Amino acid sequence: MGFYSRYVFPKLLRFFCSRSPLAKHRKALLAKVKGEILEIGFGTGLNLPHYPPGITKITTVDVNKEMHRLARERLDTSPIRVEHHLIQGDKLPMSDNSVDTVVSTWTLCTVGKVDQALQEIRRVLKPGGQFLFLEHGLSDDPSVQRWQHRLNPIQKMIAGGCHLNRNIEQHLRDAGFTIGEMHHFYLEKTPKIGGYMYDGRAIKAV
């Protein structure tokens, strides 16, 4: 991991992901959490203030040490105890069928081995467990798709491996999840190539 990825990009990501249009979507998604919770791609901890009252502990994973350092202030002031693992999301340390809810917000776009990561999420979820996701990805508009495909190589270089053109719904289905609910929309005040959102809940079949 180079200097840009380790030190510069985390600050840029924190600035972008702190924007107000994202907060309401975080809060609505996290209102659905229950039981034993795992958050992948914890980043700088921007989800922490949006977990509902009564949540006292979450387990998190992230690969970037600098991200976790930037999260320190939120961690120190949050009533939620965070058990953090500095690891890739495609090899989780939890045992099979051990987690009730997995949360991912704007993370699957960047995971290198996204299909393996989703298989790992499915493995650690209990039967009937839920994967709550809020991700950007491939638009349903062919004219937007063309630009997403064209600009994807540049996006990956400047945005820490982030892909503009991942079809999140298809990746979930390929991993064996059942889609419980799915909403598609363009995020306010965001260019369409990076603002097409997949917001929903996927279930591990019983």
Q: What is the pLDDT of residues 147-206, one digit of tens each?
A: 999 999 999 988 888 999 999 999 999 999 999 999 999 998 889 999 999 999 999 987
CA angle 192, 3, 108 (to 5 degrees): 40
Q: Report domain extents, the chain.
A: 3-129+166-203
Helix (H) or strand (E) holding 77: helix 72-77
What are residue 59's phi and psi, to 5 degrees?
A: -105, 140
Question: 158, 171 in Cβ contact below 8 A?
Answer: no
Range with the poorest average pLDDT among 15-24, 71-80, 110-119, 140-149: 15-24
Give the per-residue pLDDT at 18. 52
pLDDT at 20: 63
Q: Measured on CA atoms in the order 36, 20, 71, 40, is the torsion positive or negative?
A: positive
Considering only 5-14, 26-35, 85-94, which range has the smallest mean pLDDT? 5-14
Instruction: List the strands of the sheet with 196-203, edge to edge.
Output: 81-86, 57-62, 37-40, 99-105, 125-136, 196-203, 178-186
Looking at residue 149, what is its pLDDT? 98
12-53 pLDDT tens trace: 444 455 556 788 899 999 999 999 999 999 888 889 999 999
Pseudo-torsion of CA 140, 145, 151, 157, nearest 10°? 40
Over range 140-149, report the average pLDDT.
98
pLDDT at residue 72, as a whole number: 80
| CATH of 3-129+166-203 among 3.40.50.20, 3.40.50.150, 3.40.190.10, 3.20.20.70 | 3.40.50.150
Phi, psi (5° rounding) for residue 109? -65, -25
Instruction: Report the amino acid identity of residue 4.
Output: Y
